[in-house]
Amino acid sequence: QTNAFIGRPLPARTCSFPIFFLATLPGPSQAPGAPRHLQPLPLSFATFATPFGTSFVSPSSLSLSIGDSDGGSGEKGEMTMGTLGAVLRHPEDLMPLVRLKMAAARIEKQIPSEPHWAFSYTMLTKVSRSFDIVIQQLGLELRNAVCIFYLVLRALDTVEDDTSIPSHIKVPILQSFHQHIYDSTWHFSCGTKDYKVLMDKFHFVSAAFLELGKRYQEAIEDITRRMGAGMAKFICKEVETIEDYDEYCHYVAGLVGLGLSKLFHASELEEPAPDSLSNSMGLFLQKTNIIRDYLEDINEIPKSRMFWPREIWGKYANKLEDFKYEENSKKAVECLNDMVSNALMHAEDCLQYMSALHDPAIFRFCAIPQIMAIGTLALCYNNVEVFRGVVKMRRGLIAQIIDHTRALSDVYCSFFEFAGMLKAKVDKNDPNATLALQRVETIQKACINSGMLSRRRGYVDKGKRRFKSVVTTIVFILLSTLFSVFLKRWLVTDPA
C-alpha cells in the first residue's frame, strides 16, 4: 500500500492525522541490516483471521485507512473523521491500530515472485479478508501449506455457494474436487468478482499444491475429499435437527480444524491433536459466524441460506425469516439466545486445544480467532440488532486483541472477561437463561482452574483509564503534528 499522506492532498472529509512517519520504524523482530521486505512480522501482530473456517472483518477495516465505524468509505492511508472519533472515544485503540497498519503494509512486500505463488498469495489477500496477516506469522514451509489449504477450501466453498449452478452439476464437482487439485490445467468458472478469478485461474493453485511436501498434500486431499462429500450431502438436505447442525458445521468448519491440526503435525511443530478438540475449534467459530450472519444469509438472492436448525428456531416461529420482522423481536431474541447457548458448549474444548499448543506462531494463529468468537457471541447475546444488521466488534478492539494476545494466560483472561460480559446480559426471564448461565460458568471455572488469571487490563471496562488515555492520545496527536510541520519545513528548505 502506498502512503496516502505523501504526494497528494487529503480529501476534505479526512483529518490530516500525521502518523505516516511511524511506517518507517523497524518492527521489533527486524534484524539489523536485513532488507525490510525479508523481515518476519513481529509476533505481536498476530492473527485476526479465522483459520478454522470463519472470518469476521476485512483487513482494510482494521487499519488506520478505514472509514466510518459502520463500514463507510475511507481511502487507504487516511484516517477519516469517523475513525478519529472512534479513537477519541477509545484512545487505547490507537497504537494497536497503528501497529496493525504497519504489519499490513509489510505483508504486501513479501509476495513471492514465482507466478503460481504470486497468484496464490495475492488471491489470499483478496478472498480471505484477513487470512494474509495470519499466515505471515508462520514459517515458510507451513505458511505455504496453509495458504494453499485455505485457497483449495475457498474454491470448494465457492462452488457450493454459487446458487446458479444446478444441483446435478454441482454435486459431482464437489465430490470429485479433491482429484482436481492434482491437475494443474483444471479450472471451473463460477462465483463472482475475486472468487471468479480464483476459479478461472485455479491451475495456479494446483501448481503450487504440487510443490508442497507429500504429507501436506495428503492432508489437504483428505480434508478436501471429506468436505466436498459433506457439502454435496447438504445440497439437497436442510438443517433440521441440532444433530444436522453439528454435522453441517463439522463438514464446513470442523474438518478445517482437523486439517490444520494435520498440517501442524506434518510440520513437526506440534503433536497430534484429538479430533474432537480440533472439531470443536471449527464448530465454535462456524456457529458464531452463522449466528452473526443471520440477516445476510436469510436475505440471500435468489434463495435464502438457512443454517439455523429447525429444532431450535421452530420453538419460536413458524418460519426462520419471521425473525427479521420487528413484531417478532421478542421471540427472535429468545431464539438467538438459544443459539448462542448452543455455541458456548464448544468453548471449553477450545481452551483445552489451545493449552496443548507449543509453537508460539501456531498458538497465535489459533488463539485470536477464538477470542474474537467469544467476544462476538457476547455482543450478539440478547441483542436484537442481529436481526437488523451485522453485529461485530469495533475495529480498535480487534486490533487490541491482535496486539495483546501473546500467551495462554491472555486467552484465559479474555475468555473469562467476555464470558462475564455475556453473563451480565442474561435475562432471568429468558427461557434459556439457566442453560446460558451454566455454559458461562463452565467457561469461567475452566479459566479460574487454569491458575493463569491475572490483573491484566481488560477489554470491557476501561472507564477508570479513559481520562489518562485521552490525555495520552492528545499528546500523541500534538507531537505528531509538530513532527509533521518540522519535517515539511525541513524538506522544503533550500540547501543553497
Give the residue numbers marked as catalytic: 248, 292, 305, 365
Phi first, then psi: what are they for 15, rounded to 5°?
-100, 125
Cβ contacts of 330 within 8 Å, gap of 6 or more: none
User: Is residue 461 helix, strand or coil?
Assistant: coil
**Contact of 376 with 391, CB cutoff 8 Å:** yes
State the DSSP H helix or E strand holding residue 271, giving kind and residue range, or none if neither: none
Q: Give kind and range of the element (H or E) at residue 136.
A: none
Distance CA 151, CA 180 (A): 13
d(CA 414, CA 270): 24
Cβ distance 47 to 365 under 8 Å? yes
What cell was used for 118? 504470486
Phi, psi (deg, nearest 5) at residue 454:
-135, -175
What does each C-alpha distance from 58 to 118, 246, 293, 303, 319 come to in angstroms? Answer: 21, 27, 15, 25, 32
- Pure H helices in 316-359: 329-344, 347-355
**Residue whose C-alpha cell reads 521489533 in the numeric block:** 28
CA dist., res. 88 & res. 90, Å (int): 5
Cα(262)–Cα(273) distance, integer angstroms: 8
Cis peptide bond upstream of 302, omega within 30 = yes
Q: How far apart are CA 426 and CA 428, in angstroms?
A: 6
N residues, the chain: 496
In angstroms, how far is CA 259 from the centroid of its own chain?
18
Cell of 486: 518540522
Q: Where do the DSSP E strands lie in 70-223? A: 79-80
- Using CA atoms, how far apart are residues 390 and 60, in angstroms rounded to an integer? 17
What are the backbone dihedrals phi and psi of residue 490, each rounded to the nearest 5 degrees, phi first? -65, -40
Determine phi and psi for 101, rounding to 5 degrees: -60, -45
Q: What type of residue is 53?
A: G
Cα separation of 368 and 419, whole Å?
16
